[in-house]
Structure 1
Amino acid sequence: MTTLAETQPFLKRLFERLDLAPQPIGAETKHALDHWRTTRRGVAPTFADVVADLRHSGFAFRAVPEARDYEIVIGAKAVAPLLGDVAEGARLSEAPDRRGAVRLRRLFDEALRIGEPALVQFTLVENGRDRAGVELLAAPLALADGALGAVLGAMSIQRFETPAPARAAPPLGDETIIMFALGSSRALGERVARELGLALAPHEERRFEDDERKVRPLIGVRDKDVYVISSLDGEAGDSGADKLIRLLFFIGALRDAGAARVTAVAPYLSYARKDRRTKPLDPVATRYVAQLLEGVGAHRIVTIDAHNVAAFENAFRIESVALDAQALLARYLAHRLGAEPVAVVSPDLGGEKRAELFRQRLETLLARPVAKGFMDKHRSMGEISGEIFAGDVAGRAVVILDDLISSGGTMARAAHACRTHGATRIVLAATHGLFARDAETALRMAPIDEIVVTDTVAPREALAQRWRGRLVTLGVAALLAEAIARLHGGGSIDELLETGPKGAP
């Protein structure tokens, strides 16, 4: 149970949360508590029961009752982030960081008083800035005579996003621009920030034991033009819904903090595929996402290659900016295809317009005719059907184009059909490489020579290693940076859509 509200004032001053029925989130604290519980005999484990495990993580202190102090028995290195440079055998009263020592002593006292593990959370502050969230566990240990007189401890630290300043930012207008990047979009955010000569602004992201999230800026945003980069794809431990909720709450926090304008930059926008009713009583998820973003106070939404651009633009009452990565894909493929005869194929009729626009762009770059084709597809209750294929692909290198690759089934069906109809080389091209569920199996079984995606979705490193040489990821940082610069400075987005970013491959 959470008992901080009922505890003594000095504990409230030291900790933001105190649980006497702990459910740790961090790996270190969870491991220590599990070990304490499995080795418990009677009132508590003894030091001898836990010492072997402490050689790898955690720490233990022995009480010095006559001095109202505690002595480090083992794990000085593990506790150094809180106490500073200390050695085993030293006492808390000798630690360089006095506030850290007070926190440990108060927590140890409480754990020995109640005879059960106690878990606290608090924020580490350095030079007046919030630097990290700390989860700290203290569990009582028994001495040889059975009395409680030592403490097992462990600490999990989550560093907040506090990157070093980049080079001085060029003037982008009268207002100051601030940029955040949430979760796994941080790497992309850093690349965008570098393109603009900015540093990402620091923020805190914290996950509670029931998987609720807390996210907040760590700098003032009053009267600023704020951009928040967050792709809303699902990944291990973070679904698209999780990321959407986190983005909504963060935008709400920015508006509460007085931001003059907040732009949500979602390179991949989740729930965009359900943009119309195909069955009675169907939800229209694209519109609901729009209402949520509008409701928390977003001023603008930016995405890349929306599933249906018209539906995306019509869903929002705030400014909606639909970028596309086709210039990046076309320039890369024009270089790779060389003098080969080429065809562009849509894997379903719904994407035929997208594929045709791409075919025209590729034809211009190659300065020669590019053939086209399409595959028939019907999806119902998760099952895909339709075997009709039309197009001139015999003896040609084929580019199968779609906005995303999710389960891989649609692309794999189209690849098999193209090979059956005489394609000599098959390249899959998509902006968003989601690679969900059994995508790897489906694509590995298909006759595919190369897969080209962009980094709107953080690359899956394990997948990239297994597909080394076949999977190519193009960067969209320059495209996003130029769009943000134009939005901030009042430039033309239409021109950017026509030409793509400067310096694109």
Structure 2
Amino acid sequence: IFFRLSTMDDRNAVSNQAEELGTMMSTPPSKLISVASGAAASLERPYRLKCVTGNSNRPLAEAVAKKLGVEMCPARVGQFANGEIDIKILGNVRGDDVFVLQPTCASSTTDLNTSVMELLLLIHTLRLASAKRITAVVPHFAYARQDRKTEARVPISASAVAQLLMAMSVDRVVTVDLHCGQIQGFFHNTPVDNLYGYFLFSEYFKMKHGDDTKEFAIVAPDAGAVEKARNLADKLSASHVVTILKRRVEKNKVDSMQIVGDVQGRACIIVDDMIDTAGTMVKGVNLLRDSGATDIYACCTHGIFSDPACERLNNCDALKEMVVTDSIPQELNQAKSSKIKVISLAPLLAKAIRSVHEETSLSSLFHRTVPSTPVVEAVRSTGIDSSLMTLS
């Protein structure tokens, strides 16, 4: 009855319906209308937006919360004496729309597997605390490279991580540049929003090189990165897309490489979703240089930089810049190599979270035509005068 009254727009119809129902229930019509108004207000009341984080990338989480204009929900995320994870949500989250910002990566304060466990227990704790909806914001998704069986008796680790998240009853997952898009299928009926980093890189290089990027060659370091290279080339209006074919003999070790395409006399941008030990990247850069490329840049969404990656980048004279995002903390890596430039994901993630919270389209984030805040932050890290940029 209350729902019927609260969803009627015509005030006369509401009054007539209230009189009819009041007669049936021996209840004054005015009381019914009053209760219905309260029910309508309750139905229209939006969920409160809350952000929670663990220890894997707290600076990024705080930057996202600042962009959203909300404070981080206080939480204790530590360890007991025996190394077990100790978690307690210190604020009320009952009925809230909670976003857990936790890249599954290593940092100066935690290791990769601990960050995964923190994410799982944060979701579990929020579910027990009666949060209305829980979204895991995982910019870097761990174990994504193990997305299929490449030999006998090995796990499909990406699927296992997805199953763990679903077992914790997460409502939605937001990530950035999954190593393989098909990983979204591991989540079955749980929605996964895979955001794209190439848009940020295109703005960065457009701002730095202007229309010269039309003559650049965009390089895919392997067959799996061809789509990323094509997308970046489209955004830059670049005329050439080049692929490097490689034969990998074991993990993190490439036996041979060859270029498919012409890079003679052209500046090149190598694009990939992640960089780890940088061995393959440096070999690709040297191959491009030997094939006649001029200036060579590289951009990867996730900069893991396992040793000796920074040393290899420093010793690679042909590489001008290595541009990454802050999906993984980069302070220590930047201290080791001046070639590493960082673009912040905070504005993009904040807009994605706002869209999910307000239930608006996420695809609109990738149809802008002007540089945005992430590029300004990248410019500051490179020392370029940001006054050269034109923002709407």
* TM-score normalised by structure 1 residue count: 0.62
Q: Percent identity?
A: 31
Task: Identify which of 117, 120, 123 aligns with 1:245.
Answer: 117
Task: Identify which of 384, 388, 397 aligns with 2:254.
Answer: 384
Q: Contact between 1:337 and 1:397, CA under 8 Å: does it hold in 2?
A: no
Query: Residue 475 in 1 paired to residue 344 in 2?
Result: yes
Q: Contact between 2:55 and 2:109, CA under 8 Å: does it hold in 1?
A: no
Aligned 1:239-388 pairs, distance under 5 A: 239-309=111-181, 311-317=182-188, 318-340=190-212, 341-363=215-237, 369-382=238-251, 383-388=253-258
Counterparts in 2 of 1:241 and 1:379: CA distance versus 1, 3 Å:
farther
Aligned 1:8-407 pairs, distance under 5 A: 174-236=46-108, 238-309=110-181, 311-317=182-188, 318-340=190-212, 341-363=215-237, 369-382=238-251, 383-407=253-277
Equivalence for 2:304: 434
Counterparts in 2 of 1:297 and 1:323: CA distance versus 1, 3 Å:
same
CA drift of 1:503 comes to 4.5
Aligned 1:485-496 pairs, distance under 5 A: 485-496=354-365
Query: Residue 425 in 1 paired to residue 295 in 2?
Result: yes
Q: Root-mean-square deviation (CA), in Å?
A: 1.9
Equivalence for 1:68: none
Report Cα offsets for 1:251-279 as digits up to 9, x if no partner: 10110111111111011110111111121
Bigger relative contact order, structure 1 or 2, given CA contacts below 8 A and separation 6+? 2
CA distance in 1, matches of 2:336, 2:357: 40
Range moving further from structure 2, 330-339 or 248-257: 330-339
Paired amino acid for 1:381: E
CA distance in 1, matches of 2:261, 2:82: 52
Equivalence for 1:138: none
Equivalence for 2:353: 484
Counterparts in 2 of 1:436 and 1:246: CA distance versus 1, 3 Å:
same
CA distance in 2, matches of 1:473, 1:489: 29
SS at structure 2 position matched to 1:219 = coil
Range moving further from structure 2, 346-355 or 287-296: 346-355
Report Cα offsets for 1:30-68 as digits up to 9, x if no partner: xxxxxxxxxxxxxxxxxxxxxxxxxxxxxxxxxxxxxxx
CA drift of 1:224 comes to 0.8
Paired amino acid for 2:340: L
Report Cα offsets for 1:267-298 as digits up to 9, x if no partner: 11101111111212331111111110000111
SS at structure 2 position matched to 1:193 = helix
SS at structure 1 position matched to 2:121 = helix
Paired amino acid for 1:496: L
CA distance in 1, matches of 2:186, 2:279: 28
Q: Contact between 2:274 and 2:302, CA under 8 Å: does it hold in 1?
A: yes
Report Cα offsets for 1:179-236 as digits up to 9, x if no partner: 0121142111111111111111110012223322112211111111100101111245
Report Cα offsets for 1:440-482 as digits up to 9, x if no partner: 12222222111111111111x23313433x2211111111011
Equivalence for 2:11: none
Equivalence for 1:36: none
CA drift of 1:312 comes to 2.0
Q: Contact between 1:327 and 1:499, CA under 8 Å: does it hold in 2?
A: no
CA distance in 2, matches of 1:237, 1:313: 29
CA distance in 2, matches of 1:370, 1:231: 35
Range moving further from structure 2, 199-208 or 233-242: 233-242
SS at structure 2 position matched to 1:499 = coil
CA distance in 2, matches of 1:425, 1:241: 38
SS at structure 1 position matched to 2:268 = strand
Counterparts in 2 of 1:326 and 1:315: CA distance versus 1, 3 Å:
same
CA distance in 1, matches of 2:209, 2:52: 38
Counterparts in 2 of 1:491 and 1:413: CA distance versus 1, 3 Å:
same
Higher helix fraction (1 or 2): 2
Gap regions ≥5 residues in structure 1: 1-171, 364-368
Q: How many residues align?
A: 326
Q: Contact between 2:159 and 2:186, CA under 8 Å: does it hold in 1?
A: yes
Range moving further from structure 2, 414-423 or 176-185: 176-185
CA distance in 2, matches of 1:239, 1:312: 23
CA distance in 1, matches of 2:162, 2:95: 24
CA distance in 2, matches of 1:238, 1:424: 40
Task: Identify which of 301, 320, 331 aligns with 1:449.
Answer: 320
* TM-score normalised by structure 2 residue count: 0.79
CA distance in 1, matches of 2:197, 2:270: 15
SS at structure 1 position matched to 2:257 = coil
CA drift of 1:379 comes to 2.9
The structure that has the greater radius of gyration is: 1
Paired amino acid for 1:316: F
Counterparts in 2 of 1:454 and 1:206: CA distance versus 1, 3 Å:
same
